[in-house]
Amino acid sequence: MAIRTLKPNTAARRNMSVADFSELTKKKPEKSLTRPITRKSGRNNQGRITTRHRGGGAKRAYRIIDFKFAAAKNAEIIALEYDPNRTANIALVKLEDGSKAYVLATNNMKVGKKINSGSEAEIKPGNRLKLKDIPVGSVICNIEMQPGRGGQLARSAGARAQLAAREGDWAQIKLPSGEVRLIHVECMATVGQIGNADHQNITIGSAGRKRHMGRRPSVRGKAMNPSDHPMGGGEGLSGPGRIPRTPWGKVAMGLKTRRRKSTSAMIIRGRGKGRK
């Protein structure tokens, strides 16, 4: 999907860009596949803010996405739509029994195209197969972590992973972050790359547009007083001259915070600078 740059009629519109939505074919969502969203504004069940800078924003309806799509035969794509709840676009498909479902739209999906799922499906973008049936080296997305649970990895706009190797009951998947992880070969994945890869090139341009997305303003800790933030105070533009910290005094950079998880043993190579 291409990016459209707006005319600089105002200071906020200068350099602002939007997606042109030329690939989309339907504006209103399928009513039977939507449900209302209750806004939490970053608050937990006690009403306390646990995630800062959240609140407001345009009203949304949640699109129910079929992340499993496990046994579809000759499902026809009848529309490509925008989804406000994710960066990727979605495709409305009609199954053989006449029912409809939403799936994540991969690159080159077009209205009228047929997509399949299962061991008999062809190795082409949009089709969904088990990792044991996909050739090594293939580009994949929307990958399950547990058989039958539905896709959890590589689901955002432009995301792509690679089936690097396969040995016995386990496959090595190279994720977009650079992490290499073991996943059981009975897990399913979609062949191809998630569409709308140009999403990363969009320039928001104004604070007001961010408010429509449900994001409230944030203030740098360095700009606060010492009583308000560990990094506050100092003369002029100078900070306190200490390691970056959170508002609660925890080191914010360079300190490993990932707790040991049950799936840590599945990681062959970590992501980023702190790789194993």
CATH of the domain at 125: 2.30.30.30
Name the token pair of 23. 């690939």
Pairing of strands 188-191, 128-130: antiparallel
How many angstroms separate the CA atoms of 80 and 62, rounded?
Answer: 16
In a domain, 218, yes or no: no
214 touches 55 (CB < 8 A): yes
Name the token pair of 77. 């794509």
In a domain, 29, yes or no: yes
Handedness of CA 101, 102, 107, 111 (dihedral sign): positive
Q: What is the CA 175 to chain-centroid distance, rounded? A: 13
- Listed residue (43, 53, 39) closest to 247, CA to CA: 53
In a domain, 50, yes or no: no
Burial class from Cβ neighbours inside 10 Å (0-12, 13-18, 19+) for residue 238 reads exposed
The pLDDT of residue 260 is 80
In a domain, 155, yes or no: yes
Three-state secondary structure call for residue 264: helix
Mean pLDDT by runs of 10 across the 276 residues of the chain is 91 94 93 94 96 95 95 92 96 94 95 92 94 96 96 96 96 95 96 95 95 95 90 79 84 82 88 60
Count of structural domains within the chain: 1
- Listed residue (42, 53, 48, 43) closest to 218, CA to CA: 53
Name the token pair of 33. 């596949």
In a domain, 28, yes or no: yes
Provide the β-strand partners of residue 267: 181
In a domain, 226, yes or no: no
In a domain, 99, yes or no: yes
In a domain, 139, yes or no: yes
The pLDDT of residue 1 is 72
Residue 180 belongs to domain spanning: 3-40+58-200
Strands (E), the chain: 3-5, 17-19, 34-36, 61-63, 75-81, 90-94, 100-104, 114-115, 128-130, 139-141, 143-144, 151-153, 161-167, 170-174, 180-184, 188-191, 267-269
Burial class from Cβ neighbours inside 10 Å (0-12, 13-18, 19+) for residue 128 reads buried
The pLDDT of residue 235 is 84
